Structure 1
Amino acid sequence: MALRLTLLAASRSASVLDARFADSRPLDPAGWHEVRRAKPALSYLAAAELRYCSPSARCRETAISLGLAPLAQPALRDCDMGRWNGFTLQQVTAREPRAVNAWMADPRMTPHGGESLVAFIQRIGAWLDTRPVGDGGWVVAVIEPGVLRAALCYALKAPPHAYWHIDVQPLAAATLSGRAGEWSLSLQT
């Protein structure tokens, strides 16, 4: 029987204009408000047999606020952006425009000294593929938006450049069903 894995993007920790690489900040007031407003519609997630989250503060806070009591998974951390961690894309582009262009053009590049997009997608894919299938079951993971994009690229066998064309809003959910290397996507409202 296939595993069902619901991936939920965490609520916001900053405005879009202040989104930072490897942002470890907790939920901001707007993020808390979003979670409180969405909690009734997302309460069904607490029925999952296994509940995980990315190790960031905002993912833990989102999951706990939804009553999920998650287990933090280091493998679900956001992409390691090396020396760019903590900076916005705008700040890095102002300092290193060629490096940013190279990084966005070639998914194998690591001008920041961290993890390449290809390596990031593979790491998230390895986590997906090692979830126990057993007799089916349901797993929920509250994750960073970038982790959700990487998971979708991996599950759909999309080229790494597809990562840049997936827009993940706070509290967006996607459900994958299947097993290692054979995933199907189901989108919910």
Structure 2
Amino acid sequence: MHVRMTLLAAGRSSIGADVRFDDDRSLDAAGWEEAVRRAPTLSHLAAAQLRYCSPSTRCRETGAVLGLSPLAQPALLDWDMGRWRGATLTEVTVREPEAVHQWRTDPRSAPHGGESLLTFIRRIGGWLDTRPVAAGEWAVAVTEPSIVRAALCYVLKAPPHTYWHLDVQPLATLTLTGLTGDWRLELR
């Protein structure tokens, strides 16, 4: 029997130009307002038998605003950016332009000392495949947008560079159905 897993991208914690690697900020005012406004349309997620979240502050807050009471999963930590943690892409590009180029073009590289893109995608895929969900159950996980992107690459068996061509907006949902290693993307 198949299981169903819905990934929900956390609400906004900063504007685009201020997005920092591996940032653990709270939802900003606009993020809170949007989550409260969208809560009625996302209320059906509370019917899931299991509710998880990434351990970050904004994921836990998004889950709380939506009434999900999710359980934090360490396996759903954001992409480990090593020494780039807390910096913006612009800041890192100014300091280490060659390292940023390598990071963007070689999915096996981790010039920042954290996880490579390939390792990150495999980690998220491993969580999906060993998810704590029984057959026939539905689970919801409030995650970082990067985790939704990695899950899409894994489920679709897409080349790692596909990650750079996916945009995940705050509070976007992705529903997957299937079994270990044989996931399907469900569009509604």
TM interval, short-chain normalised: over 0.9
Structure 2 residue aligned with 1:170: 170
Structure 1 residue aligned with 2:51: 51
Instruction: Give SS of 1:183's match.
Output: strand
Q: What is the CA-CA distance between 1:132 and the residue it aligns to?
A: 4.3
- Structure-1 separation of matches of 2:169 and 2:135: 32
Structure 2 residue aligned with 1:65: 65
State TM-score, norm by structure 1.
Answer: 0.98
Over the matched positions of the two proteins, sequence identity in percent amounts to 66
Q: What is the CA-CA distance between 1:186 and the residue it aligns to?
A: 1.6
Change (3 A) 1:109 1:180: same
Structure 2 residue aligned with 1:140: 140
The one-letter code matched in structure 1 to 2:35 is: V
| Number of residue pairs matched by the alignment | 188
- Structure-1 separation of matches of 2:63 and 2:176: 19
Runs of 4 or more, structure 1, over 6 Å off, are none
Instruction: Give SS of 1:157's match.
Output: coil
Given that 1:133 and 1:179 are in contact with CA atoms closer than 8 Å, whether structure 2 keeps it comes out as no
Q: What is the CA-CA distance between 1:160 and the residue it aligns to?
A: 0.5
Given that 2:133 and 2:139 are in contact with CA atoms closer than 8 Å, whether structure 1 keeps it comes out as no
State TM-score, norm by structure 2.
Answer: 0.98
Structure 1 residue aligned with 2:83: 83
Q: What is the CA-CA distance between 1:133 and the residue it aligns to?
A: 5.0
Instruction: Give SS of 1:141's match.
Output: strand
Instruction: Give SS of 1:163's match.
Output: helix
- State the superposition RMSD in angstroms: 0.8
Structure 2 residue aligned with 1:182: 182
Residues 65-115 of structure 1 show CA distances to partners (whole Å, capped at 9, x for unaligned) of 100010000100111000000001011001100000000000000100000
- Structure-2 separation of matches of 1:75 and 1:85: 18
Residues 10-46 of structure 1 show CA distances to partners (whole Å, capped at 9, x for unaligned) of 0010001100100100000010011011000000000
Summarize the alignment of residues 99-118 of structure 1 with structure 2, pairs less than 5 Å apart.
99-118=99-118
Instruction: Give SS of 1:122's match.
Output: helix
